[in-house]
């Protein structure tokens, strides 16, 4: 089976081709970061319009690099939610039009399931069951992954997502959008312990997160006195330390409570080096192996949508010809591929 995958849930347009036997044949991506920078965040209408502009050229390149003719495509998967409705619709309409023309099935994929399955593109792939720490711009949660499609949320954020906390505090430090990676870079020159920001919910049992207090703490630090270059780096370092410490502690707690021997880290914040290092070290201490997607598959991409599509299309699922997307879509509403629909 060879499938084409399309991702347009937010500000990245991406197309990939995945072959069941040969693996990933191509993955193309266009990032809209420059387009939205002047506004300090993603402008939904601009995002939709740009997806429309980029999808055909991305498709051509992806098919060309994969040396694949449309007649060799057996199915199409596309991100159907959660995400920006207009952006999702551009990908869904594009995927469904191709599927109609090429007479193949199409299937809408849950964006977070795609993030969760991204590590399956790597060798070795993580074993099942495992705990997944899913940390992106819009979501932060610990998931009990018992099997593909069988997800139980162990804990989630009560307010801001980890990526949002990175981006908002970066903005307070005057860093351009999207601030997460820039804040991480600035933090490299920061001194440990120069500032100490709250590590919310760590003192309480359970697996929930809360990151909104970080903004206030950083705002106070920034307001107190004009910060030197070193001071800004110190603040960045303290923000990163607080987020990384909180995520790591709760991930370890989830591993202890499930007794699983594998931890998967997925989503854009999974690209953060401090987080990767700390989780790997701490998990190893309790005999747990940690699995990450490669950096480019942590942030939004179509390769992960292809992986999820491969499992589900192979099991005979398809969306019919209707173009249906969901801005909100709880992860635990998903079914195991191939299982009958409950009445």
Can you give the binding site for Zn ion, defined by CB under 5 A?
A: 136, 300
Beta-carbon contacts of 187 under 8 Å, excluding residues fewer than 6 positions away, are 233, 236, 237, 239, 240, 274
Assess 44 for contact with ligand KG4 (CB under 6 A): no
Bridge partners of 263, per DSSP, are 131, 290
Assess 148 for contact with ligand KG4 (CB under 6 A): no
Partner in contact with 96, chosen from ligand KG4, Zn ion, none, beta carbon below 5 to 8 Å by kind: none
Cβ atoms within 10 Å, residue 97: 14
Locate 53 and state its tokens: 């502009």
Give the residue with the Cβ less far from ligand KG4, 99 or 303: 303
Query: What span, in angstroms and rounded, lies between the C-alpha atoms of 162 and 152?
Result: 20
Query: What span, in angstroms and rounded, lies between the C-alpha atoms of 282 and 289?
Result: 10
Assess 299 for contact with ligand KG4 (CB under 6 A): yes
Query: What span, in angstroms and rounded, lies between the C-alpha atoms of 140 and 94?
Result: 29
Q: Which of 86, 137, 155, 337 binds ligand KG4 (CB under 6 A)?
A: 137
Torsion over CA: 136, 137, 141, 146 (sign): negative
CB of 181 to ligand KG4, least distance (A): 4
Give the residue with the Cβ less far from Zn ion, 136 or 140: 136
Assess 309 for contact with ligand KG4 (CB under 6 A): no
Give the residue with the Cβ less far from ligand KG4, 70 or 330: 330
Give the residue with the Cβ less far from Zn ion, 109 or 170: 109
Among the listed ranges 58-66, 116-124, 173-181, 193-201, the one in contact with ligand KG4 (CB under 6 A) is: 173-181
Among the listed ranges 73-81, 162-170, 217-225, 307-315, the one in contact with ligand KG4 (CB under 6 A) is: 162-170
Helices (DSSP H) in 211-302: which residue ranges? 212-224, 229-258, 273-285
Assess 94 for contact with ligand KG4 (CB under 6 A): no
Assess 190 for contact with ligand KG4 (CB under 6 A): no
Characterize the bridge pairing of strands 23-31 and 12-19.
antiparallel
For residues 67-76, one letter each, b for 16 or more C-beta atoms within 10 angstroms of the residue's C-beta and e for the rest, the string is ebeeeebbbb
Partner in contact with 163, chosen from Zn ion, ligand KG4, none, beta carbon below 5 to 8 Å by kind: ligand KG4
Sheet strand arrangement including 289-291: 150-156, 140-147, 130-135, 262-266, 289-291
CB of 308 to Zn ion, least distance (A): 12
- Burial category of 39 from C-beta neighbours within 10 Å (exposed 0-12, middle 13-18, buried 19 and up): exposed
Give the residue with the Cβ less far from ligand KG4, 99 or 299: 299
Partner in contact with 105, chosen from Zn ion, ligand KG4, none, beta carbon below 5 to 8 Å by kind: none
Query: What span, in angstroms and rounded, lies between the C-alpha atoms of 168 and 125?
Result: 33
Assess 178 for contact with ligand KG4 (CB under 6 A): yes
Query: What span, in angstroms and rounded, lies between the C-alpha atoms of 10 and 32?
Result: 9
Give the residue with the Cβ less far from ligand KG4, 267 or 309: 267
Partner in contact with 144, chosen from Zn ion, ligand KG4, none, beta carbon below 5 to 8 Å by kind: none
Query: What span, in angstroms and rounded, lies between the C-alpha atoms of 339 and 68?
Result: 31
Give the residue with the Cβ less far from ligand KG4, 78 or 104: 78
Query: What span, in angstroms and rounded, lies between the C-alpha atoms of 62 and 84?
Result: 24
Give the residue with the Cβ less far from ligand KG4, 63 or 239: 239
Partner in contact with 120, chosen from Zn ion, ligand KG4, none, beta carbon below 5 to 8 Å by kind: none
Assess 269 for contact with ligand KG4 (CB under 6 A): yes
Chain positions contacting ligand KG4, by CB under 6 A: 10, 136-138, 163, 166-167, 178, 180-181, 184, 267-269, 271-272, 299-300
């Amino acid at each position: 089976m060879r499938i084409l995958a399309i991702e347009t849930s937010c500000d990245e347009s991406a197309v990939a081709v995945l072959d069941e036997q040969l693996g990933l044949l191509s993955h193309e991506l266009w990032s809209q970061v420059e387009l939205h920078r002047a506004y300090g965040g993603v402008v939904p209408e601009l995002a939709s319009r740009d997806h429309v502009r980029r999808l055909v050229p991305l498709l051509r390149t992806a098919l060309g690099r994969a040396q694949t003719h449309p007649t060799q495509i057996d199915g199409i998967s596309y991100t159907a939610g959660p995400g920006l409705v207009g952006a999702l619709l551009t990908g869904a309409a594009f995927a469904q039009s191709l599927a109609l023309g090429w007479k193949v099935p199409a299937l809408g994929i849950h964006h977070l399931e795609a993030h969760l399955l991204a590590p399956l593109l790597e060798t070795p792939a993580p074993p099942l069951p495992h705990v997944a720490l899913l940390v992106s711009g819009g979501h932060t949660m610990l998931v009990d992954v018992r099997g593909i499609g069988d997800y139980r949320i162990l804990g989630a954020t009560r307010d801001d997502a980890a990526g949002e906390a990175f981006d908002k505090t970066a903005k307070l430090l005057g860093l351009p959008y999207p601030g997460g990676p820039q804040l991480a870079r600035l933090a490299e020159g920061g001194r440990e312990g120069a500032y100490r920001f709250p590590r919310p919910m760590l003192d309480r049992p359970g697996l929930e997160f809360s990151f909104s207090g970080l903004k206030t703490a950083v705002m106070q630090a920034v307001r107190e006195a004009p910060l030197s270059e070193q001071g800004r780096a110190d603040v960045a370092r303290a923000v990163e330390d607080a987020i990384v410490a909180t995520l790591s502690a709760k991930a370890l707690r989830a591993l202890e409570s499930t007794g699983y021997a594998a931890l998967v880290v997925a989503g854009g914040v999974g690209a953060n080096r401090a987080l990767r290092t700390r989780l790997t070290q701490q998990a190893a201490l309790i005999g747990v192996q940690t699995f990450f997607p490669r950096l480019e598959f942590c942030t939004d991409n179509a390769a992960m949508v292809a992986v999820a599509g491969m499992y589900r299309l192979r099991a005979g699922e398809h969306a019919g010809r209707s173009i249906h997307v969901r801005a909100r879509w709880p992860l635990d509403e998903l079914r195991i591929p191939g299982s009958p629909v409950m009445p």
